[in-house]
């Protein structure tokens, strides 16, 4: 699993375990691509894992939440040959069977299908040999004695599988207290004087607990510097209706004992990320020949047009069609047709040396760029030239029309004068008209 990637989906109550797991992954060069938390509905977290294409998924949640998660896993199809789930190992063997209190709409068969082939890890609950522990009992004798005391079937008794751990925990506490009593005796103190404000006694008790080591019904009992129980880790896989033992991991010696009994959908181990493989994809030879002949016909037609333009270049109709632009367009068209031959390679029966493939790709791009520039560049230049000439002709015609209209209207121009009437003059003298 080195250099692999994995997401973690967890219930909020197991946050400390998630932090420790994430730190361990980082220390072992395992990339954690996502950490999803949920409290209640796990659907958003499961959908997020699917969007991120998660492959190896570690689930940290209690039994009831596990059923909710795997119901959503079935709906989102986050199982089968592409995915591997790692779960906590202290669930009952039939934990995936939904109950009325779960309020989920998945059947037992659907849940079983979603949970199939997942792995579980847990601390070893029972000693692997018949050597008696500090109590004088071995694991088998402890289970027999416990079953006699409770007088109930083990499968209906809560916490029955973890009973050896609880029993050894009491012994560990007794050894730690006994060690602390001896240290307090040297300081003339007693354990009865201990209170939660007594830091010195608490530190002594912690040191004694870390130094505790004995043989219990669950195996060798010892603790790490962080106070965690150091024990063999048991790895199992759900195959059909049963959990099959895969192996053990010994933390002290960093040794993994594996029995090679694992099974996967399709018989193959799912990859932790998409596998990218370089593969030669060749064009079908028949299709390549058809397109090459089509390109040859196009090249022949373009050359005929080019010869026609050159032979009749003195004709007025040819000159008015901008023959230089036409010839450049035809040349670009021929180059683009030649590119068809290049882009069809490699073809069946005609390969390209791998060391020359990169250079060949550059040649393909260069040919297309040259042909495109010649053909479309000439076409756009011709359109622009035609547009400018037509626009100039319209401007000249409008100018002449304006001059003619101005000359015509100037001859029709008339000037009107307004005469103002003055104040009449009254003459007081008499006017005598003599008659002859």
pLDDT of residue 50 exceeding 70? yes
Is residue 369 located within the same domain as residue 319?
Answer: yes
Is residue 12 located within the same domain as residue 92?
Answer: yes
pLDDT computed for residue 6 by the predictor: 57
pLDDT of residue 9 exceeding 70? no
Give CA 160 to chain center in angstroms.
42
Is residue 269 located within the same domain as residue 360?
Answer: no
Q: Which residue has the higher pLDDT, 367 or 407?
A: 367
Structural domain includes residue 193: yes
pLDDT computed for residue 319 by the predictor: 74
pLDDT tens sequence across 157-180: 777 778 898 999 999 999 999 999
pLDDT computed for residue 237 by the predictor: 95
Residues 60 and 9 sit within 8 Å (Cβ to Cβ): yes
pLDDT tens sequence across 351-369: 777 777 778 888 888 988 9
Structural domain includes residue 279: no
pLDDT computed for residue 297 by the predictor: 93
Is residue 370 located within the same domain as residue 406?
Answer: yes
Structural domain includes residue 89: yes
pLDDT of residue 2 exceeding 50? no
For tokens 């036409």, what's the residue?
326
pLDDT computed for residue 244 by the predictor: 93
Structural domain includes residue 431: no
Structural domain includes residue 2: no
Measure the CA angle with vertex 408, ends 402 and 410; round to 5°: 100
Is residue 344 located within the same domain as residue 363?
Answer: yes
Structural domain includes residue 429: no
pLDDT tens sequence across 280-322: 777 888 888 898 999 999 999 989 988 888 888 778 877 777 7
Structural domain includes residue 96: yes
Is residue 150 located within the same domain as residue 22?
Answer: no
115-120 average pLDDT score: 94
Angstrom distance (rounded) from CA 54 to CA 87: 15
- Structural domains in the chain (count): 3
Pick from 61-70, 73-82, 397-406: least confident:
397-406
pLDDT computed for residue 69 by the predictor: 93
Domain end, chosen from 242, 274, 306, is at 274
Is residue 28 located within the same domain as residue 116?
Answer: yes
Percent of the chain at pLDDT above 90? 22
Query: Is the full-model pTM beyond 0.85?
Result: no
Is residue 176 located within the same domain as residue 321?
Answer: no
Percent of the chain at pLDDT above 70? 86
Range of the domain at 201: 128-228
Residues 219 and 231 sit within 8 Å (Cβ to Cβ): yes
Residue 361: other Cβ atoms inside 10 A: 12
Is residue 12 located within the same domain as residue 119?
Answer: yes
Is residue 290 located within the same domain as residue 414?
Answer: yes
Is residue 289 located within the same domain as residue 403?
Answer: yes
Closest CA to 40 of 99, 113, 103: 103
Structural domain includes residue 176: yes
pLDDT tens sequence across 248-261: 998 888 899 999 88
Residue 121: other Cβ atoms inside 10 A: 16
pLDDT band at 36 (very low <50, low <70, confident <90, very high): confident
Is residue 353 located within the same domain as residue 221?
Answer: no
């Amino acid at each position: 699993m080195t250099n692999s990637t994995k997401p973690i989906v967890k219930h909020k109550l197991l946050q400390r375990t998630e932090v420790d797991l994430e730190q361990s992954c980082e220390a072992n060069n395992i990339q954690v691509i996502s950490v999803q938390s949920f409290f209640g509905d796990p659907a958003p977290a499961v959908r997020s894992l699917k969007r991120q294409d998660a492959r190896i998924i570690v689930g940290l949640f209690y039994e009831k939440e596990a059923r909710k998660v795997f119901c959503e896993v079935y709906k989102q199809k986050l199982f089968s040959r592409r995915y591997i789930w790692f779960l906590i190992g202290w669930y009952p063997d039939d934990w995936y069977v939904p109950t009325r209190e779960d309020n989920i709409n998945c059947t037992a068969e659907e849940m079983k299908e979603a949970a199939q082939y997942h792995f579980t890890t847990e601390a070893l609950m029972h000693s692997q040999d018949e050597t008696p522990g500090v109590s004088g009992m071995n694991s088998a004798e402890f289970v027999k004695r416990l079953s006699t005391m409770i007088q109930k079937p083990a499968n209906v008794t809560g916490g029955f599988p973890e009973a050896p751990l609880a029993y050894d925990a009491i012994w560990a506490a007794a050894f730690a207290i006994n060690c602390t009593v001896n240290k307090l005796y040297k300081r003339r103190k007693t354990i009865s004087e201990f209170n939660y404000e007594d830091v010195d006694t608490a530190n002594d008790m912690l040191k004694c607990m870390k130094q505790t080591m004995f043989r219990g019904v669950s195996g060798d009992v010892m603790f790490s510097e962080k106070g965690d129980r150091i024990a063999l880790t048991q790895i199992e896989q759900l195959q059909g209706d049963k959990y099959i033992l895969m192996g053990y991991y010994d933390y002290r010696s960093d040794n993994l004992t594996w029995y090679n009994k694992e099974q996967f959908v399709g018989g193959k181990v799912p990859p932790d990320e998409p596998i990218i493989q370089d593969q030669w994809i060749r064009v079908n030879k028949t299709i390549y020949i058809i397109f090459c002949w089509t390109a040859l016909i196009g090249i022949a037609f373009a050359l005929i047009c080019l010869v026609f333009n050159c032979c009749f270049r003195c004709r007025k109709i040819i000159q008015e069609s901008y023959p230089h632009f036409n010839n450049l367009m035809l040349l670009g068209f021929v180059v683009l047709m030649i590119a068809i031959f290049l882009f069809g390679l490699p073809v069946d029966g005609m390969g390209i040396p791998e060391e020359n493939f990169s250079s060949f790709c550059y040649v393909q791009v260069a040919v297309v760029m040259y042909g495109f520039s010649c053909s479309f560049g000439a076409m756009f230049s011709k359109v622009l030239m035609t547009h400018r000439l037509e626009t100039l002709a319209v401007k000249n015609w409008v100018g002449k029309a304006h001059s003619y209209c101005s000359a015509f209207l100037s001859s029709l121009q008339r000037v009107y004068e307004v005469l103002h009437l003055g104040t009449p003059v009254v003459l007081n003298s008499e006017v005598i008209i003599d008659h002859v």
